[in-house]
Amino acid sequence: MAATKGERIFAFRTLQTKQDLPARRERVQSSDSNCSLAHAGQSHHDNMSIDNVALRNSATLVVGAIAAQVIGGLFAQMSPLVVAGLMDGLALSEREAGIVTSVELLALAITAILIAPVLPRLSYRRVCIGAVTLTLLAQGASIVAGGWTTLIMLRTFAGLGEGALYASSLSIVASRANNPEKVYGYFQLVWALGSVPLFSAGGEITAAFAHQGIFALLGGVTLTLAPVLLLLPNTAAPAIESAMTDRQASSSSFGMMLFIAIFLYMTVAAAQYAFSTSMGERAGLDTAAVGYTLTIATLVGLAGAAAAMALNVRWGRVFPISLFCFAYAVTAAVLCLWQNPTVFVVALVLAAALYYFSLPYLFGLAAAIDRSGRWAAAAGSAYLLGFAAGPFLGGAVIASSGYMFLAASIVALMAASWGLLMVIANRVVDRRVAEHQSV
């Protein structure tokens, strides 16, 4: 039976559709492929944007933390010039000027240790802005203060603000930085670089304007760096409530051991540093020569900070901690006992390099114990307490038994510090291994 005209047309269109079907499928697949490429490109762009944001956040975090560190530790760094300025400008005795300095350092250290447990729950930016405001007010009032009692009160307020800033700088890095040792290395690099112009300008300003000049310098540096604190995060440390209670208990015991170890280490370092001039005079150098040697030692300290940043924890923590503890004990003993100018200069420069090399590992160990930043802030308090206790201990030992007994005391205290640090470093490694095996 012959097909009708309509049936022939329908059959032709059906055949044409079947012939066009592969081409249509190819166009659809091409379109899907283009869409996939577009989505992939968009995803890659989004990932790059996230990476760039993370990089910017990391850089701003480091810069803000460095500003808080410098403002918080500026008085401790410049304390010899503060003592000289108070004695010249207000005619204070060594005892009275020392009391003013000790009160501020004590307020700084106590504030750091008291704020450490609650600091990770607070907004770092708000804490630092409030602290720097208090510090600036105290610095400005100290310039015009005329009485010893008033000055002690003002320097106590300054110590409160400085302690909060110093503790915040350490806590921020411990809780938010992926590599705390490296960032703490940046801290020491900045201190080594900044100390040279600060001491140079500070000496001239103090000689010309006494205590008013040095307090004005401290206030000027603080005011200059204060806006940088706005780069700090306006939130608390992340995930501090998710820590396990058993780990918190172990962290507390390790943290107390580390607090004692850092206190002992800094007591040794501060005792050696405080009496560097008298040690140099025993070796045949005058005060000016010792001053130049200290300047050179500070510059060489850059090498110590750079070495800590380069080595980092590539070989673990046990080796670098053992290295600087042993080398510092030997170097300090040489400074106490060997009365040769060349040996003194070499030993003092080496001591400075070891000091700047050691601090990133000490604070990094605190960050490894507790990444919320609590023990890093407490470690800063131990550092400051040791810094304040060192000159007192060194002076008492020298007055009663001489430099030979000081050398023996330094070696004994350093050995005790090293023993505690070894226990902590090994247990932290064991805990990390156990955590990885349980995952």
Pair 353, 303 in one domain: yes
**Number of structural domains in the chain:** 2
What is the per-residue pLDDT across 130-188, written as a single tens digit (0 to 9) for each? 999 999 999 999 999 878 889 999 999 999 999 999 999 999 998 888 889 889 999 98
Asked whether the beta carbons of 268 and 416 are under 8 A apart, the reply is: no
> In a structure prediction context, what are the per-residue pLDDT tens digits for the chain, which is 439 residues long?
445 544 444 444 444 444 454 444 444 444 444 444 344 444 444 443 433 434 445 889 999 999 999 999 999 888 878 888 888 898 888 778 888 888 898 899 999 989 988 988 899 999 999 999 999 999 999 999 878 889 999 999 999 999 999 999 999 998 888 889 889 999 988 998 898 888 888 888 988 999 999 999 999 999 999 999 999 988 776 654 444 444 554 578 888 999 999 999 999 998 888 788 788 888 898 877 887 888 788 888 888 888 988 888 888 889 999 999 999 999 999 999 988 999 999 999 999 999 999 999 999 999 888 877 888 888 988 998 998 888 888 888 888 889 999 999 999 999 999 999 999 988 775 455 444 444 3
CA atoms of 200 and 400, how far apart (whole Å): 35
What pLDDT does 216 receive?
96
Radius of gyration of the chain (CA): 30
User: CA torsion, points 104, 110, 114, 115, in degrees to nearest 10?
Assistant: 30
pTM: 0.75
14 part of a folded domain: no
Least Cα distance to 109 among 389, 386, 381, 392 occurs for 381
Helix axes 374-401, 341-369, angle to 10 degrees: 150
Pair 265, 179 in one domain: no
Pair 265, 393 in one domain: yes
User: CA torsion, points 110, 113, 117, 118, in degrees to nearest 10?
Assistant: 40
What is the per-residue pLDDT across 260-305, written as a single tens digit (0 to 9) for each? 999 999 999 988 887 887 888 888 988 778 878 887 888 888 888 8
Query: Residue 196 maps to which CATH number?
Result: 1.20.1250.20
> Residue 264 sits in which domain range?
244-439
Pair 251, 185 in one domain: no
CA atoms of 409 and 324, how far apart (whole Å): 17
DSSP string spanning 111-141? HHHHHTTTGGGS-HHHHHHHHHHHHHHHHHH
Pair 216, 266 in one domain: no
CA atoms of 268 and 262, how far apart (whole Å): 10
- Give the rounded distance of the alpha carbon of 265 from its chain centre: 16
Q: Among positive and negative, which fits the CA dihedral 314, 317, 318, 320?
A: positive
CA atoms of 107 and 160, how far apart (whole Å): 6
Instruction: Examine the fold and report which residue of 175, 203, 232 is the final residue of a domain before the chain moves on.
Output: 232
Q: Supply angle C-alpha 87, 89, 91, rounded to 5.
A: 50
Residues 6 or more apart in contact with residue 427 via CB below 8 angstroms: 250, 254
- Give the rounded distance of the alpha carbon of 337 from its chain centre: 33
Return the half-sphere exposure (C-beta side, CA atoms, 13 A cut-off) of residue 337: 14
